[in-house]
Amino acid sequence: MLDKTNTDGVMASERVVAKKLKTQIVVVGGGAGGLELVRKLGAHYGREDFDIILVERNHTHIWKPLLHEVAAGSLDANLDEVGYRGHGHRWGYRFFLGSMESIDREARQVVIAPILDDDGSELIGRHRIRYDWLVLAIGAVSNDFGTPGVRQHCLFLDTRREADRFRQKLLDHCLRVSRAEGADARVEIAIVGGGATGVELAAELFNAAAALRHYGLEVFDESRLHVTLVEAGPRILPALPEKLADAAKGELENLGVRVLVNTKVVEVRAGEVVTNAGIIPADLKIWAAGVRGPDVLKDIGGLETTRSNQLVVGPTLQTSRDERILAIGDCAFFVASGETRPIPPRAQAAHQMAATAFTNIKALVAGKPNLTPFVYRDKGSLVSLSRFSTVGSLMGNLVGGRMAIEGRLARIMYISLYRMHLIAIHGWLHGLALVAIGHVNQVIRPRLKLH
């Protein structure tokens, strides 16, 4: 039930409904975990006695691991995005556009911030959505660790909008360099963070640059691109075995990427990145050096949160201070029994959490006392270096992450991850159909998105 409030967030009116209210399950966040969860809940419960609601600030969903391809222009997000309204109609849940502002745990209501249009005018005022069970799945944002100048001068890849913004700036700089006098003109790009996002973006940029000459920039090629990857740790890709990380580093350097390790960024300025080893000139600066929970989660509703704004959850994914509120995905802080570190912020973790949350919500609604504890099964890590190479390790829990794979097999496994995501949010029939359509688009669509 949606309750209207005045601009101060105070309840304006409250209807007394004679008929029995539907059980209302609210999921905030339509990322990999949240979208999969509402699909399962909607398909299982239907609309007759249950009201499944998804609250999301974006109109469409794009799988976050693909954002580096959107940023480089090698993926047209318009072809891969999922519209929440149409998806909700198909699977039996309702979609509400908006951003969570706070939680009123006593009244069991989520407070949604006012929605503004492009010129700042209010379209929909602050309002509240009642819940019987609430799942928070709002993901994570880039962590700048308080480094001066990062927020002012760096671009991020947390959302589709940010990826689109980077792509447009990249194309503008490529156009400038292609028309510049002198063969030494370059597009200088600095990527801070040697994890999967930074490494994959670095490789994808060279793939895109190599194709630009076929799309109107005849005098531009990958030799005009100068990419520096900066990592504070002793090596890139710390989640992978050292042998694979070294192989990825060698592949990047063969492409032309300058890889700097043990290099800490101390400040970012307009046109340059200042490190403990010197200054790196940069037209474009991408920050991909870690994640944290969004600011809105800090002590929200009196729930227990970490210093990085993650919600502390127990074995059943219920928050530590409220059993009616669960958290899944990157915004959840979960430490398995016997472990000292929380599970990593990966898409596979969000997928597994969504499955456990679905099982436990069904038990909670039915009043069953025994819930299923969450068990994280590390399936390994895969990193794509665009069309050039793919490296990774499989079945981390089974063989300690030591089953190293490279080349064609690794590429096939990497592509299969996205296919499984499509099946998880669309079901087998629709998901397989989209996989087939994707193959057709690879043949008939341009290699780059240039608008």
Tokens for 48, please give them.
């007759």
Report pLDDT digits (tens) over 233-282.
999 988 888 888 888 899 899 989 999 999 999 999 999 999 999 999 99
Indicate the range of 78-82, 163-167, 228-232 predicted with least confidence: 78-82
Can 2-140+293-365 and 143-290 be said to share one CATH topology?
Answer: yes
Rounded distance, CA 39 to CA 345, Å?
22
Report pLDDT digits (tens) over 310-356.
999 999 999 999 999 999 999 999 999 888 889 988 888 999 999 99
Angle at alpha carbon of residue 6, lines to 5 and 11, rounded to 5°: 40
- Strands 322-327, 133-136: pairing is parallel
Which pLDDT does position 86 carry in this prediction?
Answer: 95
Indicate the range of 316-320, 413-417, 436-440 predicted with least confidence: 436-440
Mean model confidence pLDDT for the chain: 85
Report pLDDT digits (tens) over 95-110.
999 999 999 999 999 9
Fold of 143-290: FAD/NAD(P)-binding domain (3.50.50)
Which pLDDT does position 393 carry in this prediction?
Answer: 60
Alpha helices (H) in 213-241, listed in sequence order: none
Q: Is the confidence at residue 23, as pLDDT, over 80?
A: yes
Rounded distance, CA 222 to CA 253, Å?
13
Domain range annotation of the chain: 2-140+293-365, 143-290
Rounded distance, CA 99 to CA 116, Å?
11
Indicate the range of 30-34, 218-222, 444-448 predicted with least confidence: 444-448
Q: Is the confidence at residue 387, as pLDDT, over 70?
A: no
| pLDDT band with cut points at 50, 70 and 90 for residue 7 | very low
> Is the CA virtual torsion 60, 63, 67, 69 positive or negative?
negative
Q: Is the confidence at residue 232, as pLDDT, over 50?
A: yes
CATH of 2-140+293-365, one of 3.20.20.70, 2.40.40.20, 1.10.1200.10, 3.50.50.60: 3.50.50.60
Contact 187, 200 (CB under 8 A): no
Across residues 390-399, what is the average pLDDT? 52
* Sole residue written with tokens 């069991």: 108
Alpha helices (H) in 141-274, listed in sequence order: 150-153, 160-179, 196-212, 242-255
Which pLDDT does position 427 carry in this prediction?
Answer: 82
Across residues 179-192, what is the average pLDDT? 84
| pLDDT band with cut points at 50, 70 and 90 for residue 391 | low
